Structures are given as C-alpha cells and as structure tokens.
Chains A and B, each alone.
Chain A
Amino acid sequence: MTFFTEQNLVRARTIVAQYPVAKSAILPLAHLAQDQHGWLPPEAMAEIAELTGTTPADVLGTCSFYTMFKRRPCGRFVVSVCTNVSCLVLGGPEVLEHLEAKYATDPDVTVEEVECLAACDGAPAMQVNYEFHERVTPELAEDVVEAYKRGALRARTVSGSLPA
C-alpha cells in the first residue's frame, strides 16, 4: 500500500466495510483516488484491487466503463459542457466551441462535451469539477473558468468532492 495517504487509507477501509461484498467499493475508491491525485493512475487501481480483494484487471475493467474516471492526467479543472437537446437549441454548442478553442493548450483546463446534466431549466448548462453553472454564454462561461483559475471560486476536486 503506497498510493493512498494514511488518512485516505483509513477512509478507504471504512468505505469497503459499508458493503456486504468488497468489490462494490471499486467506484467509491476510484473517486477517492481522484480526489487525492487529480486522476486515476495504474498504481491507484492496483491498490484498489488489494483493498477490494480483486485484481488490477478487474478494477481497470470496471473503471474504464465510466467517463468520470480519468485514466490519463487531466487539467485541475474539468469543464463539462452539455450539448444535449435543451442545451443544443439554447446555445450549448457555441459555449463548448468557445471553451475548447480558448483552452486547447491550457494544461489546467480540460474541456469536455457531456450529456444531459439534469439542469435543462438552466440551459445552456455546464459544470466545473461538477459544480453547476447555468444559463451561460460563451463569455460568461469563460469568466467562470477564469474565476476558478485565479481562485476567486473555490473548486471541488476533479471527482466533485469538496476540497479537504
């Protein structure tokens, strides 16, 4: 065990104990790993396998199914822009296009096109590290991302947890 910090290892064992079958803890432990590390590296998956009595291949098999798990390094800020139908007709694609161009080479910001975020009454909607921002325009969306970058808005982790 070398990946999780001592404190997170305690939390990890508490999470495993919540389930009748340890394998159930793979998803929550992968979230915990991302909270700690900013993405989900192979060492984390190996340790999650040990903690859940599975193999690293089991953990990779499960985690590779889910889009929230980043198996390559990503920016400190994951910006998710919805372009599903309610956002499609109210300007979501324009927001996405603007942010993708603006942050194409910015290592701090990863811009993603995502599916419906269940915020259709606030379309077009986006999230930054899973915090909602609604009724955005390309300019407002950029302002929001910039506010996170300079620390004016406090960001959640890349898995959406509150910062420690």
Chain B
Amino acid sequence: MNETRIVTRRIHERPDDSWTIDGALASGAYETWREVLRAGNPDDVQAQVTESGLRGRGGANFATGQKWSFLPKDVFPRYLVVNGDEGEPSTFKDRMLIERDPHQLIEGIAISAYAIQCNQAFVYLRGEFALGYDRLMQALADARAQGMLGANVLGSGFDLDIVVHRGAGAYICGEETALLESLEGERGMPRVKPPFPAIEGLYAKPTVVNNVETLSTVPHIMRMGGAEYAKLGVGRSTGTRIAAISGHVQRPGNYEVEFGCTFRDLIYGLAGGIRDGNRLKFFLPGGASFQWLIDSDEHLDAPYDIDWVQQNLGTTLGSGAIMVFDETTDPLAVAYRLIKFYAHESCGKCTPCREGTGWLAKIVYRMMNGFGRPEDFDLLVSVGSGISPDVDIAPFTQTTLCPLGPSAVSPIASLRKYFRDEVMARLQETA
C-alpha cells in the first residue's frame, strides 16, 4: 500500500526547505488563506469543516466542526488555543509538523480562527521542542512580514495575532483544561467540567482547543472542499491520519494514510515488518493510554477505523501512534514503564490517580523482578478498578477528572486479556 500525502506533502516534496517562507510559498502556502479571506464567509468555513467529517487528531477523535459549534454566539473575546504539547509516549507526528511545516500550521490556525471569528490565538508548545519553537517563531515573523497575520489581514478587516507559549515539562498539560490552567500561569491541573472550554475556557472566555495535526489539515479541507475530503477514509473516519510507527519495526517513521487500511498494511507494509526476522508479540494501536493488540489475524487485519476499532476491539486509534514489540519483549516490563510514566506525570489532584498509579507501579515492579505473588494479578485489578471502575474497558471509565489515571489501568487490562497465562506462570514459579 502507499501513503496518501496531504498534510505531509510539503515535507516530502521539499525536504531541504519546507519550513522556510520561501519553500512554503513556492509550494502553495497561504493561497487557501487568501482565498478564504476573499470569499469572506466564515460560516462557510465552519460548514466545510463540519461536512469534511474531520475529527480531532490529538487522541479523543472528537468532531472538529461540532467542537467549534459549541461556542456561544456573540460572546467576545474568544480564543483559539493550539495544543502543541505532544507528549503521549510513542507519538511524534506533531513535532514533525511543527518543525518541518510551521507555515501549514499557521495557515490552519488563521483559517480556523477566521471560521470562529477569533482574533487571538495561542500555541501551547511543548517546552522540550526547542527547534520547533525556533522554527515556529521564525515562521510567524515571516508570515507577519508577508501580511498574513496582524491587523487587517490583506485588507479584509480581520485581525489575528498568534502568541507561542512554551510549556515546561508536564505531560498533563496536553489535557485541554490543564493546558488552559498552564497558559494562565498556574500548575497544570485539569479543571472540573462542565463548564467546558467552549463556554468558559481561557480567562473564562469561550475557547476552542485544537491539536496541531487537526489544524494543519484545515487548509486542505478548504482547498479540496469538505465533501471531497470526506470521500477519503472509511465510515466516520474521514480523510488521512499520520500513523507514527515505532519500536521493533524495520522502518520506524510517520506515515500518512487514508483511514480504512489495516494494521497489517501499516506494520508489515509501510514500516517494513518486524526487525531481525523476529515475530510480532503485541502492539499499542493508538499511543500509550489505550489497550494493546496482539499478533493475531483478527487484530492485524482490523480496519484502521476509529469507530470499528473502538466497538470491536475495546481500544482506539488515539493519537495515531503505533508501537510495536517483538517476541523478545517482556510485557511486564512495558506495562511497568507505562504505569511508571503515568505515576510520574499524575498531577496529584485526584486521589485515585495520585495514589493508585504509584501502587500499580510498585506491584508490577515486583512481579517483573521475580518477587510477585500469585494473588498480585487480582490485586492489580482491584487497585485499577479504583481508578477505572470497569477495568475491562479501561481507560473509558473513570473516577478522576481526566483520563490520565485510567490510562495507567490500560496495561493491566491488556495483560489480563492477552498475557494472563504467561504472567501467572511466572508468579507461580517465584511463589
């Protein structure tokens, strides 16, 4: 199978200068923005994005047009906040889009801000993305010099300012309400919802928070037309998605594909299969937060379709990251490292997550190192159910404000589903 390069087209066509203003202009940057301003119809932009079926590419897959529609009419100022705090383990597509095509992102921000009639956008950029920050700041300066941003853009009467705000090392700030807290100068702790950000977001004003890949897609939807874009993909998973494939594969990387291909196409086709002639053992189909899949035809031939995977396999395509592990991998070691991550990144606001993730990590650690007890498996499920009450469908049930804690239960559910016998045998051995 082949890639369908829409959002990654410029990056591939101009590997040496895709991030510069000259390179970007030479490959059509800001033409759609000019066109949108000339047409002068923000409602049409919203309608096209709704019709395109675009769903958020950050991980929650929420319909973008619908998210925009929640803004109350006639309440100003309102803000567009760009979530560039990519931190989900195994996800590395937004960093590429920021470093290598910042003008596409800026064009997407501009068109989206125009659609929702907002004059001030903030990009919350992960603090560790130093090169991304340099490139984005340069791109913004160049875009302003070209008259694409600022006051009265291209004589349209529309004003737009974009401020880049660097984070400082906190995974939780990728959660949209924690991100807003952080942008307000607070500790990045999720808020109680409702009110949702569309009603009371940044500075308690109506706010839309969209992911980098989502906004980078918007210029293409306007260029192609929403209906045309919706023809790509399958079912309600329209368009393309950047699959970030890593781990034990021959060719790790970002691959932009139409929804509707299979995991086999991605892992064995584009990523070249498993390294060193080894066998696949299991893979994470959508970032670190969701349940794993294994080396079975049922899983490998499953369609890359958000809803199908969620309804039939109890997991989701999440952030688009696929992490692959071969037969040499100890699933307990992967589970431990993931749970340790959530324990470290827990903001501490909700007791089940603050306390529970740490206990899960401790128990899995002793299991992994030969000090486990036969009853530990049930103990993990018991502790896990305090964070995500129905462990089988973790992280989709929660006793917490945000899904971080429940995400630490996903590895437990996965171990129980697919590796119970292997783990129990080890526990009996060491008992």
Report B-chain residues with C-beta under 8 Å of the C-beta of A67: 168-170
Which of B165, B185, B253, B284 meets A23, CB within 8 Å?
B185
> A residues 16-32 with Cβ under 8 Å of B?
18-21, 23-28, 30-31
Q: Are A25 and B185 in contact (CB under 8 A)?
A: yes
Chain A residue at minimal CB-CB distance from B334: A85
Q: Which of A2-10, A102-110, A136-144, A155-163 contacts B (4 or more CB under 8 A)?
A: A155-163
Report B-chain residues with C-beta under 8 Å of the C-beta of A88: 333-334, 337
* Minimum distance in angstroms from A87 CB to a CB of chain B: 9
- A68 at interface by CB-CB < 8 Å: yes
Q: Are B131 and A132 in contact (CB under 8 A)?
A: yes
Chain B residue at minimal CB-CB distance from A67: B169
* Minimum distance in angstroms from A39 CB to a CB of chain B: 13
* Minimum distance in angstroms from A131 CB to a CB of chain B: 6
Q: Are B163 and A19 in contact (CB under 8 A)?
A: yes
Q: Are B128 and A85 in contact (CB under 8 A)?
A: no
Report A-chain residues with C-beta under 8 Å of the C-beta of B288: 84-85, 116
- A148 at interface by CB-CB < 8 Å: no
Q: Are B169 and A68 in contact (CB under 8 A)?
A: yes
Q: Are A86 and B87 in contact (CB under 8 A)?
A: no
Q: Are A31 and B166 in contact (CB under 8 A)?
A: yes
- B167 at interface by CB-CB < 8 Å: yes
- A117 at interface by CB-CB < 8 Å: yes
Contact with A along B329-366 (1 / 0, CB 8 A): 10001100110010011010000000000000000000
**Interface size, B (range):** 35 or more
Chain A residue at minimal CB-CB distance from B251: A121
Q: Are A116 and B88 in contact (CB under 8 A)?
A: yes
- B186 at interface by CB-CB < 8 Å: yes
Task: Compute the total of residue contacts between A and B using a CB distance below 8 Å.
Answer: 155
Q: Are A84 and B89 in contact (CB under 8 A)?
A: yes
Report A-chain residues with C-beta under 8 Å of the C-beta of B253: 121
Q: Are B185 and A27 in contact (CB under 8 A)?
A: yes
* Minimum distance in angstroms from A29 CB to a CB of chain B: 9
Report A-chain residues with C-beta under 8 Å of the C-beta of B88: 116
- B248 at interface by CB-CB < 8 Å: yes
Q: Given the interface contacts A115-B345, A118-B86, does A123 sit within 8 Å of B246 by beta carbon?
A: yes
**Interface size, A (range):** 35 or more
Contact with A along B165-183 (1 / 0, CB 8 A): 1111111000000000011
Q: Given the interface contacts A67-B168, A85-B90, A115-B89, does A24 sit within 8 Å of B337 by beta carbon?
A: no
* Minimum distance in angstroms from A66 CB to a CB of chain B: 4
Q: Given the interface contacts A20-B203, A52-B185, A84-B337, does A30 sit within 8 Å of B128 by beta carbon?
A: no
Bound: A88/B331 CA distance, A:
12
Q: Are B127 and A28 in contact (CB under 8 A)?
A: no
Q: Are A89 and B128 in contact (CB under 8 A)?
A: no
Chain B residue at minimal CB-CB distance from A83: B337
- B184 at interface by CB-CB < 8 Å: yes
Q: Given the interface contacts A86-B246, A118-B92, A160-B133, does A68 sit within 8 Å of B127 by beta carbon?
A: yes
Report A-chain residues with C-beta under 8 Å of the C-beta of B92: 118-121
Contact with A along B309-345 (1 / 0, CB 8 A): 0000000000001010100010001100110010011
Which of B77, B169, B184 meets A66, CB within 8 Å?
B169
> A residues 60-79 with Cβ under 8 Å of B?
61-63, 65-69
Q: Are A66 and B128 in contact (CB under 8 A)?
A: no
Bound: A85/B334 CA distance, A:
6
- B416 at interface by CB-CB < 8 Å: no
Report A-chain residues with C-beta under 8 Å of the C-beta of B126: 118
Q: Are A68 and B87 in contact (CB under 8 A)?
A: no
Q: Are B166 and A27 in contact (CB under 8 A)?
A: yes
Bound: A160/B254 CA distance, A:
25
Report B-chain residues with C-beta under 8 Å of the C-beta of A18: 163
- B130 at interface by CB-CB < 8 Å: yes
- B252 at interface by CB-CB < 8 Å: yes
Q: Are B95 and A118 in contact (CB under 8 A)?
A: yes
Chain B residue at minimal CB-CB distance from A30: B168
* Minimum distance in angstroms from A82 CB to a CB of chain B: 9
- B22 at interface by CB-CB < 8 Å: no
Contact with B along A86-116 (1 / 0, CB 8 A): 1011100000000000000000000000111
Q: A24-B185, A80-B128 are in contact. List 5 more A-B contacts (CB 8 A).
A: A27-B166, A65-B170, A66-B127, A85-B323, A156-B130
Q: List 5 A-B contacts (CB under 8 A).
A: A26-B185, A27-B185, A62-B187, A66-B170, A89-B329
- Measured CB to CB, the residues of A under 8 A from B are 18-21, 23-28, 30-31, 52, 54, 58, 61-63, 65-69, 80, 83-86, 88-90, 114-123, 127, 129-132, 156, 159-162
- Measured CB to CB, the residues of B under 8 A from A are 77, 86-92, 94-95, 120, 126-131, 133-134, 163, 165-171, 182-188, 203, 244-248, 252-254, 284, 288, 321, 323, 325, 329, 333-334, 337-338, 341, 344-345, 347
The 6 nearest A-B residue pairs measured at CB: A66-B168, A120-B246, A160-B130, A23-B185, A67-B169, A130-B130
